Amino acid sequence: MHITDIIHKKRSGKVLSKEEIDFFINGYVDGSIPDYQVSALLMAIWFNGMNAQETTDLTLSMVASGDTVDLSGISGIKVDKHSTGGVADTTTLVAAPLVAACGGRVAKMSGRGLGHTGGTLDKLESIPGLSIEQPMDVFQKFVNTIGVSVIGQTGNLVPADKKLYALRDVTETVDNLSLIAASIMSKKIASGADAIVLDVKTGSGAFMKTVDDSIALAKAMVDIGNLAGRRTVALVTDMNQPLGNAVGNALEVQEAIEILQGGHPGDLRDVIFALSSWMLMVSDLAENEDEAMEKLEKSLSSGAALKVFSEMIKAQGGDPLVCEDTGRLAKAKNLISVKADKNGWITEMENAEIGLSAMLLGAGRQTKEDVIDPAVGLWMKKRLGDEVKAGDELAVFHVNDDKNLEEAVNRFKAAVKIGSSKAEEKKLIYKIVE
């Protein structure tokens, strides 16, 4: 078998066999196939695409390139949840304990953020003392006894994805549905879950900007999961404004705890309940959405979900008292009120710019070496469609270092558009792909 033949075949729009895909992945990982030939194949894939079986074969070949996690030591159906990323997306911190309180088994390995705010791990590490580095046997013990644990990825998971993504990034082949889907799903499958619920974001703060593209990505990932023997469901959800109120690490933990305490009705809570209901259904813990919602409401109102989160924090070395007093989380020195300049309605939010405003304050990373300040960020005070008057508070910035404050405020104010008439209300959940 020769890589030039594989490049020619895909360049001609033909379907690659599993053996050809395995040859390409194995050769790239072991160094026998050079970057320039893989670049040519990636461009051929970008132009001609891959069908569902090719994409699944690519995903599984990437999984086989490194370690895989064996979760057989955990009883029951192990469920994972993944979001394609957004602004103020704090769903995991609430959904995981909610589902665990209903009898679910949430064994989650998460990553760090590179961009406007931290990833789930960065948020958890803003809880004093909490460690996301846990041995696999301890991690499995936590899931068996508490129902949930969230740790960093262990071992050498999917090295093919790391190499391929770096090459895609410099060859303008990132935005291909098959390559995106394989990248995401290879890590989920390697992490060992039996069932996967995906939250595919769409809109100005998402990787996929249009609903049609987001639905296509959701379908591609669901196909991979199901063909790989994992029960997979995807929800396509709106990201045209921050999902929650808090943008920043300790602030997002605070909001998550306050939701678990029964507060903050709204979009974030609604998406959390939608995702959690599917996590229960794919775990065979609820037959339908009504039964799932009833169980979730009970676990929230009884305090059971908050208790599970507190137990997970304590087990992983953190301060469980933050669940009673969020004042124990890191706090910024200065609070800066950002106000509207004119009367009108909020008609649009350039959500990515709002995230970048938080990053400029220190809530996210521009490079992998950057150190996140857990205390900083912003707290939204208005939503899309709200009427505002000049001088009304749009957000409160939580600031420790004012070096980039002026730019952050200017970006934020430019991102929040105020018009003369109320805009049409957007959907929160566009589609469910099973």
| Model pTM above 0.85 | yes
- DSSP readout, 48-114? H---HHHHHHHHHHHHTTSB----TTS-S-EEEEEE---SS--HHHHHHHHHHHTT-EEEEEE----
The question of whether 264 is a catalytic residue gets the answer: no
The question of whether 187 is a catalytic residue gets the answer: yes
Listed in sequence order, the residues at least 6 apart from 4 whose beta carbon sits closer than 8 Å to its beta carbon are 37
> Helices 249-260 and 91-101 meet at what angle, rounded to 10?
30
Q: Which helix (H) or strand (E) holds 34?
A: none
The residue from 57, 161, 194, 199 that is catalytic is 161
The residue from 10, 168, 188, 201 that is catalytic is 168
Amino acid 113: pLDDT: 62
The question of whether 11 is a catalytic residue gets the answer: no
Amino acid 370: pLDDT: 79
Q: Domains of the chain: which residue ranges? A: 3-49, 78-323, 330-419
- DSSP readout, 350-387? -HHHHHHHHIIIIISBSSTTPPP-TT-EEEE---TT-E
C-alpha span between 52 and 300 (Å, rounded):
39
Amino acid 341: pLDDT: 96
Task: Give the pLDDT of the chain (434 residues) as one tens digit per residue.
Answer: 999 999 999 999 999 999 999 999 999 999 999 999 999 999 999 999 999 999 999 999 999 999 999 999 999 999 999 998 889 999 999 999 999 999 999 999 987 765 666 689 999 999 999 999 999 999 999 999 999 999 997 778 999 999 998 999 899 998 899 999 999 999 999 999 999 999 999 998 887 889 999 999 999 999 999 999 999 999 999 999 999 999 999 999 999 999 999 999 999 999 999 999 999 999 999 999 999 999 999 999 999 999 999 999 999 999 999 999 999 999 999 999 999 999 999 999 999 999 999 999 999 887 767 789 999 999 999 999 999 999 999 999 999 999 999 999 999 999 999 999 998 888 999 999 99
**Total count of residues recorded for the chain:** 434
CATH architecture of 330-419: Alpha-Beta Complex (3.90)
CATH number attached to the domain at 78-323: 3.40.1030.10
Burial of 266 (0-12, 13-18, 19+ CB in 10 A): middle
Instruction: Provide the pairing of β-strand 377-380 with 416-419.
Output: unpaired
C-alpha span between 247 and 57 (Å, rounded):
38
DSSP 8-state symbol, 320: G
The question of whether 398 is a catalytic residue gets the answer: no
The residue from 83, 178, 183, 277 that is catalytic is 183
C-alpha span between 174 and 4 (Å, rounded):
22
C-alpha span between 15 and 6 (Å, rounded):
10
The question of whether 314 is a catalytic residue gets the answer: no
Q: Which CATH class is domain 3-49?
A: mainly alpha
The residue from 78, 116, 123, 187 that is catalytic is 187
Amino acid 119: pLDDT: 85
